[in-house]
Structure 1
Amino acid sequence: MRTRNRINKAIMYIVLIALGLMFAFPFLYTLYTSFISMKFVNTLTSPANWTLDNYKTYFTNPAYDVQKWLWNTIVMTGIVVIGNLIINPMAGFALAKLEFPGKKIVYWIVVATMMVPYHMILIPVYVNMAEIGWLNTYMALTVPFLYQALYVFMLRQFFISVPGEFIEAARIDGLTKMGAFWRVVYPLARSSLITMSILAFAGTWNSYLIPSTLANNPEKYVLVVGLNSVKDMFFENTPMIMAGVVLTTLPILVFFFIFQRQYIEGVSSAGVKG
């Protein structure tokens, strides 16, 4: 019996490793290709032939400003993630634990907005940004995205599971409702908040359509938009293209691997309740 269990476990590990390698291969190929020159493409070569020239070209060529695009991406992503960490939990907590007129209507409006693709409201957003003079600014790239209906819904589901006694005890100790939220309830949502942060980080960092629509000045390009604007210069240079892919993908992978345990816990605790 033990031998059979060991065999089954070994088979399971082999299958999981094979699946892991299969899904990791495209990125590993991209990473490897970004470190070689054009003459070694589609061949295996020793590390002695690897080079950082492809990345140096991006950061030193005066024809484009990758440093600026990278900084714009960091600023935009940081503001959006921080804004979502503040606004979405407050909205989710209000819908889960507070009583106010029209609460159910507000909740169903939030749910309904989850079903509307952002592409459908992109033109109205563009018109609004143009009318208030925010085009080609950080405000246009961040303010409309500080709130996300999906994350409000997800956090509401978590806050419903928080015992009301915690809030009542905090109120007895002299805290206001906001104080009870920030000092008692908010820390309990750590896993859900990290899950939301990873999703918001990935969605914002790799966003192309919205930044390219709201900012057409190269000075305000984000990394994805900027690299796409110069891709024709390297159309036949596969290593340069792969280096650009790594620049846009690697930060997301690093962010995920740092918080992967909390991400899994957050997904597990975000089931539909109430």
Structure 2
Amino acid sequence: MQLKNRVSLFSNYTVITIVGLLFLLPFLYTLYTSFVSMQDVNKLAGISHWSFKNYKIFFTNDAYNVPKWLFNTVIMTGIVILGNLIINPMAGFALAKLDFAGSKVIYWIVVATMMVPYHMILIPVYVNMAQLGWLNTFAGLTVPFLYQCMYIFMLRQFFITVPNEFIEAARLDGLTKMGAFWRIVYPLAKSSLITMSILAFAGTWNSYLIPSTLTNIPDMYVLVVGLNSVKDMMFENTPLIMAGVVLTTLPILIFFFFFQRQYIEGISSSGVKG
């Protein structure tokens, strides 16, 4: 029986490893291509042929301003994640633990909103941003996305599982409802918050549709939008384009690598309940 379990475990790990390598191959090809010259594309070049030349060109070419695009992306992503870490948990807690008039209606509005593709409301959002004078500004790129209905729903499902006794005990110790939330309940949601942060980071960092719609000034481009403009100018320079792809992909992989355990725990603890 023990031998059978070992064989089964070995088979499972073998399959997982093979599938993982299949998913990893495209990124490895992109990474390799970003280090070689155009003449070595789709060839197996030795390490002596590898260099950071494409990255240097990508950052120093006067035809485009990659450092500025990277700065814009970092600022936009940081503001959106910070807003989501504040607003979504508060909304999820209110819907899970506070009994107020219209809470059920608001909950179902949140659920219904999750089913509406963002493409359908893109034009109204653009009109609103134009009326506010927020086109080509960080406010336009961040304020509409400081909360996400999907994350509110996810956090509500977690907060439902938090025993009411924790909150009642905090209230007996003199904390207000908001005090109980921030000091007792919020820390308990660490795994769910990290899961939300990873998803928000990936979605915001790689966002193209929204930034390309709300900005038309090169100095306000984010990295993905700017990379698309570089692709139009340097379409035939594959290594240079691949260097840009690595720059947009690597931060997400690093972010996920450091928080993968909490991500899995957050997914497990935020299932649909109640």
Asked if Structure 1 and Structure 2 have the same fold, meaning a TM-score greater than 0.5 normalized by the shorter chain, the answer is yes
Gaps of 5+ in 2: none
Match status 1:180 vs 2:180: yes
In 2, the alpha carbon distance for the partners of 1:85 and 1:8 equals: 41
Superposition deviation, residue 14 in structure 1: 1.7
Deviation digits for residues 181-221 of structure 1 (CA, Å, limit 9, x no counterpart):
00000000000000000000000000001001111111100
| Alignment-derived partner of residue 52 in structure 2 | 52
Instruction: For 1:160 and 1:11, locate their aligned partners in 2 and report how far apart those are by CA, in whole Å.
Output: 39
Q: Alpha-carbon deviation of 1:180?
A: 0.2
**Structure 1: runs of 5 or more not aligned:** none
Partner of 1:257: 257
The 2-side partners of 1:199 and 1:24 are apart by: 20
Percent pairwise identity: 76
Where do residues 2-41 of structure 1 align in structure 2 (5 Å cutoff)?
2-41=2-41
- 1:18-57: per-residue Cα shift (whole Å, max 9, x none)? 1111110000111011011111111112211101010001
Instruction: Kindly state the Cα deviation for residue 2 of structure 1 after the two structures are TM-superposed.
Output: 3.0
Q: Deviations over 1:128-151 (max 9, x none)?
A: 111111110000000000010000
Shift of 1:16: 1.5
Structure 1 residue 227, shift from structure 2 partner: 0.9
TM-superposed CA distance for 1:164, in Å, is: 0.2
CA distance in 2, matches of 1:201, 1:19: 25
Distance 2:131 2:42 in 1: 51
Provide the C-alpha distance between the structure 1 equivalents of 2:132 and 2:5, rounded to a whole number of angstroms.
Answer: 66
Structure 2 counterpart SS, 1:70: helix
TM-score, normalised relative to structure 2: 0.98
How many residue pairs were aligned? 274
Q: What residue identity is the alignment partner of 2:220? A: K
Instruction: Say if 2:230 and 2:241, in contact at 8 Å, map to a contact too.
Output: no
State the distance in 2 between where 1:264 and 1:99 align. 31
SS of residue paired to 1:259 = helix
For 1:202-213, what aligned pairs fall within 5 Å after superposition?
A: 202-213=202-213
TM-score, normalization by structure 1: 0.98
Equivalent-residue separation in structure 1 for 2:9 and 2:116 (angstroms): 44
Kindly provide the amino acid, as one letter, of the partner of residue 148 in structure 1.
Q
Determine the C-alpha separation between the residues in 2 that align with 1:9 and 1:181.
43
Counterparts of 1:11 and 1:98, CA distance in 2:
49
Corresponding position: 1:64 with 2:98 = no
Q: Aligned equivalents of 1:9 and 1:88: distance in 2?
A: 40
1:102-135 per-residue CA deviation (whole Å, 9 max, x = no partner) reads 1101101111100111111111111111111111
Alignment-mate amino acid for residue 120 of structure 1: M
Residue 167 of structure 1 aligns with which residue? 167
Amino acid of the structure 2 residue aligned with 1:189: A
* Structure 1 residue aligned with 2:156: 156
Amino acid at match of 2:152: V
* RMSD between aligned residues: 0.8
Letter matched to residue 244 of structure 1 = G
Segments of 4+ moved more than 4 angstroms: none
